[in-house]
Amino acid sequence: MIKSFVLPILVGTLVSIQSGYSQDVYQENFSPAEGHGQYAPDAVIPEGKSTKWAQAINNPNNGITAFVRQDDTNQIFGQGPDNLYGAFSDTIADATVPVERTSGVRMMAGKLSLDFYDPGQGSSSNWVFRLCVGGASNSRTVFGFILLNKGDGTGFLCPAEGPHVNPPRDLPMLGSYPTNARNALVLVFNNRSDSTVLNYDGGTVAAGRMDIWLNGQLIADDAGAANSLQGSPITNLNFTLKSGGHGTIYLDNITLTEL
């Protein structure tokens, strides 16, 4: 069972293209002016087709999950006391939390950038980031990675593998990050069906591959896909909490850019 937070979004001679085209197709910084309606402080972020999130958050029957906007009075994202961010929490390992945004995103190549803050809550947090074709599911995941936090003050980022998009048993972690601190993540993907290499500001990505940057460091260079869906456009981004994990993660400055 998975707890989900979803954001919608030539075999032949090797060809290299410069990505002169760049367009932000989705942005969320949780400010009052964003989201087709103001977010009340510490209130559940609205859901629906006319909002930023087509399907959101809470399970009102148990009250143990939430996706809320919070005032950044402690300045955890370093943008001043008036900053706002989104807090996604799940305190019960068996709960399911779907949050989905699927309209308006259809990209063969692009870049996801976001800031996250892992407060280290919960004894085992396994946050999975998935770029999907069609529906938000493991089997439709093209690229993915997992943030592992065992509650000891340090988090680890590892690749997600296979149809179940699980942490690998044998591969090393890609990098580590501090909990209780702001972290900046950038993921650049190229899901074209041909041999086109995408040139972007910072590097290149082969077809069917992705690069991951964590706090300004390239930690995954031409990393492979979880499932073989090359040639299909990415249509949504998922944040999920795998079964057995529980905790809280804070998110801000989410941008999805078509390249």
Question: pLDDT tens, 28-49?
Answer: 888 765 444 456 666 666 665 5
Helix (H, G, I), strand (E, B) or coil at 20: coil
Task: Name the one residue in this structure whose structure tokens are 């149809």.
Answer: 163
175 within 8 A of 186, measured Cβ to Cβ: no
Nearest to 253 by CA among 24, 29, 46: 29
Residue 61 maps to a domain: no
Model confidence over 51-102: pLDDT tens digits? 666 555 545 445 455 677 888 999 999 999 888 898 887 765 554 454 555 5
Asked whether residue 49 is assigned to any structural domain, the reply reads no
Is 90 within the bounds of a domain?
no
Pairing of strands 236-242, 125-132: antiparallel
Residues facing residue 138 across a β-bridge: none
Kindly report the pTM of this predicted structure.
0.84
Flag whether 80 is in a domain: no
Residue 6: give the domain boundaries.
Answer: 2-28+95-258
CATH code of residue 99 = 2.60.120.200
Residue 67 lies in a domain: no
- Tell me the two tokens of residue 95: 């709960």
* pLDDT (mean) for 113-138: 81
Q: How many domains, the chain?
A: 1
With a CB cutoff of 8 Å and minimum separation 6, the contacts of 201 are: none
